[in-house]
Amino acid sequence: MNLNISIVLYHPQWEEEVIPLVEELLKVKSLRKIYLVDNSEHKADHPWLETKRSKLQYMFNGANLGYGSAHNIAIRESVFYMTTFHLVLNSDIQVKATDINQMVEWMAGYPEVGQLMPRVVNNDGQQQYLAKRLPSPWNVFARRFLPEWMTARSNRRYELRDLDLTRPINAPYLSGCFMLLRTEAVLEAGLFDERYFMYPEDIDLTRTIHRRWLTLYQPQWTIIHAHRQASYSDRRMLWIHIQNLCRYFNKYGWIWDKERWQMNKL
């Protein structure tokens, strides 16, 4: 039982985020390798990288390949080395190594679980609702552009707030900020779809794994996520978000998506 971890970087905040996170991750018992996959234009020249060679691998792409494509580089390493688990992680996450140890051990005991995400909160402890039903076009576009009072009811259902979030939920959509993946399951699903530059790739991968495996929100553990939501403040990122969501609905269906209806009902 072993674990690889990948973190995709783009103009990273080394001292504030990356170094503290990686130093904690290096304490994980089952860790084989941490891959820092850098999509920045310029290669990092940080002396700290030279001191962590045994279990840390820095991978410079020289271009922004996108979120899923960059993670796939590291996931293929997990497939090649037959690593049991692969953790896809954002750099703006705070998590304890002991919690990851427990998650891996727990997941190893339930071979039907293909993916796991813990409870996610803000720095102030407020819960982020990142386990969801599969989105319809209304869920993703209306709540972005319409007043909250018009979308509150559908948002509550979409974000699973109508369920008991103190118990595990087999959700068809788990956020890409923390995806503890069974390598066998992600290989069967076909890794991240690289046609997305960023945003819907986590929806796509989770629903694909969900077809044959449990994809669990497991509130037994809690992590902290900064959750920048760049598309809410940057018009360029908003346009990228819209483009890639259109690719997602072109792939699965805008109005008629039988699988979405079935998974959401279950």
- Statement: residue 93 has pLDDT above 70: yes
H or E element that contains 144: helix 143-145
Strands 3-9 and 85-89, how do they pair?
parallel
CATH of the domain at 54: 3.90.550.10
Q: Kindly state the average pLDDT of the residues 34-58.
A: 89
In this prediction, residue 123 carries a pLDDT of 93
- Statement: residue 173 has pLDDT above 70: yes
How far is C-alpha 53 from the geometric centre of its chain's CA atoms? 25
- Statement: residue 98 has pLDDT above 60: yes
Rg of the chain, C-alpha, whole Å: 18
- Statement: residue 51 has pLDDT above 80: no
Q: How does pLDDT run across 222-265, given as a tens digit for each residue? A: 999 987 655 455 788 888 889 999 999 999 999 999 999 999 99
- Statement: residue 84 has pLDDT above 80: yes
Please state whether the predicted TM-score (pTM) of the whole model is above 0.85: yes
Number of domains in the chain: 1
Cβ neighbour number for residue 238 with a 10 Å cutoff = 14
In this prediction, residue 229 carries a pLDDT of 54
**Token pair listed for 264:** 């959401």
75's torsion region: left (phi>0), alpha (psi -120 to 50) or beta? alpha
Cβ neighbour number for residue 230 with a 10 Å cutoff = 13
The answer to whether 202 and 130 are in contact (CB under 8 A) is no
How far is C-alpha 79 from the geometric centre of its chain's CA atoms? 18
In this prediction, residue 45 carries a pLDDT of 85
Q: Which residue has the higher pLDDT, 202 or 239?
A: 202
Confidence class for position 50, pLDDT limits 50, 70, 90: confident
Residue 246, phi then psi, degrees to nearest 5: -65, -40
In this prediction, residue 237 carries a pLDDT of 84
In this prediction, residue 135 carries a pLDDT of 95
- Statement: residue 178 has pLDDT above 90: yes
How far is C-alpha 150 from the geometric centre of its chain's CA atoms? 28
Range of the domain at 7: 3-265
Q: How does pLDDT run across 140-149, given as a tens digit for each residue? A: 888 777 788 7
